[in-house]
Amino acid sequence: MRLENVRARDLAALQALIAAVPAEAPYDIAVERGDPVAAMAREAGFAPYATTVMFARAIEGLPEAEPADGVRLLTYDNAMGDRYDDAEFDALHGLAIYKAMGRPTGYRQGAGFGDFTVAMRGDRLIGFCFTQVPEGIIWWLGVVPDERRKGVARMLISSAARATRTAGGTHLLMESEDTPEARAFFGALGFRERGTRELLISS
């Protein structure tokens, strides 16, 4: 569970707000870098664990990805859950966000919510993209390490763009852990950086 857009006038107000949350810890707070709430959250027992970057671009003008050799895209089905869990771990286990969520993350039960597309090579699930439509928010994207730099992620982004456009959306938005690879990938696709956020988690 994530607490978004948290506002509090002081530490006591933040602690009262946290006490009223109808869920047990752990959960996290996401705030823009430099937001005074971050310092209050630390005092309230939250620890920083990741920095993220927001990327956005219009769908119009996004180049259609070339098909990656031998890769096909399918709509995710919950029956793929075991293969999905393995691919998700391989793709994301090095990221602080994935470690904070723990395994399983819950996406294995994501069929039917938004646009959930997976990339397959034969019977092996090698990549995935979960997009909220029509808003165009890409919540979860990954490709297993040995299939990177082959065009798989570009195929998944193109699929997300098509689904968003079909649903009436006009833009794509992605929040990614701040890594050089993420900045390079999204920059190459014409995404612009729209700010950074700090994630803090309760203990």
Three-state DSSP state, 171: strand
Predicted pLDDT at 40: 93
Model pTM score: 0.90
pLDDT value for 101:
84
State the pLDDT at residue 1: 73
pLDDT at 170: 98
**Which tens digit of pLDDT belongs to each residue from 112-138?**
999 999 999 999 999 999 999 999 999
Residue 130: Cβ-neighbour burial (10 angstroms; 0-12, 13-18, 19+)? buried
CA–CA distance, 95 with 101 (Å, rounded to integer)? 10
Which residues of the chain are under the pLDDT cut of 70? 203
In the chain, what are the domains?
2-50 (no CATH), 64-168 (3.40.630.30)
Phi/psi at 189 (nearest 5 deg)? -90, 5
Give the pLDDT score at 172. 98
**Residue 78: its pLDDT value, please?**
96
Phi, psi of 30, rounded to the nearest 5 degrees = -115, 120
